[in-house]
Amino acid sequence: MSINFLIIQIIIWGISAIMASSGAQSISPETITGMRFSRHIPLSADLQHVQGLSVTDNFIYITSVKTEKPQQAFLFKLNRSNGILESHCITRDQKVHPSGVQFYDGYIWHALAEYKKGGASLIQKIEPASLKIVLEFAFDDHIGAIACDKDRIYGANWDGEAIYCWTHSGELICKKEYNPGLKIQDFECIGGYLIGAGGSEGALHVLDSKSLVVLKTIVLPEIQSINRVTREGLSVYNNEFYFLPDDGLDAKIIVCKAVRTD
């Protein structure tokens, strides 16, 4: 990590910390009609092929996969106060593909899967300070996105062709299939709703968290990036939407504000 990167991050996160509160979400997804670009946050580090993003009061968590052989899974932890970026290899045997990620109730939730459609996954709950796995269960499908609320864990499979629900102990509750798939790459649960980034389509899908019915699809405007803004990582923090669509040294966080009807 370069000195310039450190200086840039200290400035950026010092400014953004002014806006940070508890991180609690008060957004009502049913009132959102669109997105308005707010700002870019450069990262200036090689993040490989990014997968997931979660923004918290003190840290930014990013999951990614190294696609060149030997393939490896990574969890990055960016300190918002001093700009220090930690890189942790989280590969487990043939499971080299981390999912989208959500920080919920003080823990990091994500899945680690084989890099193929239908491949097996491990759903993991991680203590953020030590990165110790405090809960883990196996599942026989490739889970590419994870979200949580107080009762359920939600997982979207490859291309979002199905969404699964489990209890917090790993018991399967239900499965809902979609044809065509929703292409969800990363999603979060907010106030009874699931909001998912719809891959290269440049859209957000809003689902009811109980029925898993798609309530609306919000098409995002063209925003300056190499890929469509919803291609990979999504996080909702302090009433703003954070996206991470690009890979490697081109990776930068794109921040948007919701356009609402209320």
First to last CA, the chain: 43
Per-residue HEC secondary structure of the chain comes to CCHHHHHHHHHHHHHHHHHCCCCCCCCCHHHEEEEEEEEEEECCCCCCEEEEEEECCCEEEEEEEECCCCCEEEEEEEECCCCCEEEEECCECCEEEECCCEEECCEEEEEEEECCCCCCEEEEEEECCCCEEEEEEEECCCEEEEEECCCCEEEEEHHHCEEEEECCCCCEEEEEECCCCCCCCEEEEECCEEEEECHHHCEEEEEECCCCCEEEEEECCCCCCCCCCCCCEEEEECCEEEEECCCHHHCEEEEEEEEECC
The whole-angstrom separation of Cα 20 and Cα 235 is 14
Does the pLDDT value for residue 231 go beyond 80? yes
Tokens matching residue 124: 């993991």
Q: pLDDT at position 185, please?
A: 95
Q: Which fold has domain 3-260?
A: Methylamine Dehydrogenase; Chain H (2.130.10)
Q: pLDDT at position 139, please?
A: 98
pLDDT in tens, 39-86: 998 888 899 999 999 999 999 999 999 999 999 999 999 998 888 899
133: left (phi > 0), else alpha (psi -120 to 50), else beta? beta
pLDDT in tens, 150-186: 999 999 999 999 999 999 999 999 999 999 999 999 9
The whole-angstrom separation of Cα 88 and Cα 63 is 10
Cα–Cα–Cα angle for 215, 220, 225, rounded to 5 degrees: 145
Does the pLDDT value for residue 9 go beyond 90? no
Does the pLDDT value for residue 15 go beyond 50? no
Beta-strand relationship, 186-190 and 193-197: antiparallel
Instruction: Of 42-56, 180-194, 219-233, give the lowest mean pLDDT range.
Output: 219-233
Could you identify the residue written with the tokens 């806006």? 19
The whole-angstrom separation of Cα 79 and Cα 57 is 10
Give bridge partners of residue 109 from the DSSP assignment. Answer: 102, 125
Taking Cα atoms as reference points, which of 52, 132, 135, 45 lies closest to residue 86? 45
Q: Report domain extents, the chain.
A: 3-260
Does the pLDDT value for residue 12 go beyond 70? no
Could you identify the residue written with the tokens 């009874």? 192
pLDDT band for 29, please (50, 70, 90 cuts): confident
| Burial of residue 246 (number of CB atoms within 10 Å: 0-12, 13-18, 19+) | buried
Residues in the chain: 262
Residues 189 and 102: beta-carbon distance below 8 Å: yes
